[in-house]
Amino acid sequence: MSNSAEHGWIIKIDGENNAAGPLSGLRLAVKDLFDIAGYPTGAGNPCWLQTHAPATQTASVVQKLIDAGAQLAGKTITDELAYSLNGVNVHYGTPLNHADPTRLPGGSSSGSAAAVAWQEADIGLGTDTGGSVRVPASYNGLFGLRPTHGVIEMDHCVPLAPRFDTAGWLCRDLQTLQTTAQVLFKNTEVEQAPAIDKLLIFKPTVGGKVLLNETARDWIAQRTELFTEVVEVELEEAFLTLLSSTYRSLQGAQAAQVHGDWLDSVENPQFSADIGERFEWCRTIDQAEISAAEGQLQQVLQQLGEWFKDETWVAIMPTTPGAAPRLDEDAEALGAYRNRLMGITALAGLSRRPQLHLPVLQDQGAPWGLSLVGGRFADLQLIELAKRMV
């Protein structure tokens, strides 16, 4: 075993897989939240590692990929307990953004993204709670899928907020992403979803700036003939702020509930400053705030239901506000950016919908892209559509 934090690894495993299957010959990188029998699960934090015994069972999602022929290449770095979107880990190192080493790799599946981007793995298994597959996919120029919530098993995986936690994966090409999807969605409702033929063009405004710039609009316009109906929707800043605040409260309340006992049991969990502050804040969320967020969620779902009239509609939108922030961005600016970013990423999480990132654009000379957001269980249909669009 060896470590190579720059390329995303926390443990490299030189193993073989003699199982024949659709993933034979493909290398699998696994985020260090998923249990692999015989190995520790560190969740990005040394105190978590010290207070938990090595795994005795392998997570179902990992085992399915191995059984389909994937070769386990190792475990990858994650932000501490997956509670960040930056991809920085003060304990184990920050994976390098392959496209631009001066920029953040994006978290919390930063290690899996880096391993794939540096071509040391073909499938980067991660988790996505608030954007932790989609954001590093955007920042590193990869395809990345946040699946329909609840379809893929999350057993033997360190949770953050189970209401939103999903497994997800990143790949350099759509064919590999699709083959992985076919393995994981076999015999599920995803296989029964109807075809998509109607398009919503979501135009979010963040920080007073309409994110769907001319280049993005042109890219979309060249593909509208694929749809029988096209509708443009302004996502006003007030609505995105509502998404962000609703999501943050509901996620934070669950994170406090899930990890509260462990936090009480550890004298000094040694978090980085931003994640430590986040855990302190989430433990202050009271029932009144939770109830208010639940009410806001119903407003959000009602609005989305008016836009997505049925399962034949798909939305396209920017995945992130733009290129990855630079590594030397100050903490205050990153905090403000996180809130704006979550206004975009929260939409799929709150509505339990699948979202597929397409690495088709650049911003400031760095990777950026658009996402397809579909109805629940439309995951395979999103991939089929993406193959026609890309």
- Taking a C-beta distance cutoff of 8 angstroms, is the pair 197, 227 a contact? yes
Across-strand partners of 45?
none
CA distance 97 to 84: 16
The string of DSSP letters for 89-126 reads -TTT-----SS-TTB---SSSHHHHHHHHTTS-SEEEE
d(CA 217, CA 313): 19
How far apart (Å, rounded) are the C-alpha atoms in residues 246 and 130?
A: 12
Do the beta carbons of residue 60 and residue 8 sit within 8 Å?
A: no
DSSP notation for 178-231: HHHHHHHTTTSGGGGPPPP-EEEEEEEEETTEESS-HHHHHHHHTTGGG-SEEE
Number of Cβ within 10 Å of residue 172's Cβ equals: 19
Question: Could you give the residue numbers annotated as active site?
Answer: 31, 108, 132
The closest of 120, 123, 115 to 181, measured between CA atoms, is 123
Query: Contact at 8 Å (CB) between 379 and 362?
Result: no
What backbone phi and psi angles, to 5 degrees, belong to 333?
Answer: -65, -40
| Paired residues of 72 in beta bridges | 28
Residue 112 has φ and ψ, to the nearest 5°, of -65, -40
CA 360 – CA 329 distance, rounded (Å): 25
Half-sphere exposure for 71 (CA within 13 Å, toward CB): 15
Give the relative orientation of helices 237-265 and 273-282 as an angle to the nearest 10 degrees: 90
In the numeric block, the tokens 């890219």 are attached to 219
Classify 390 as helix, strand or coil. coil
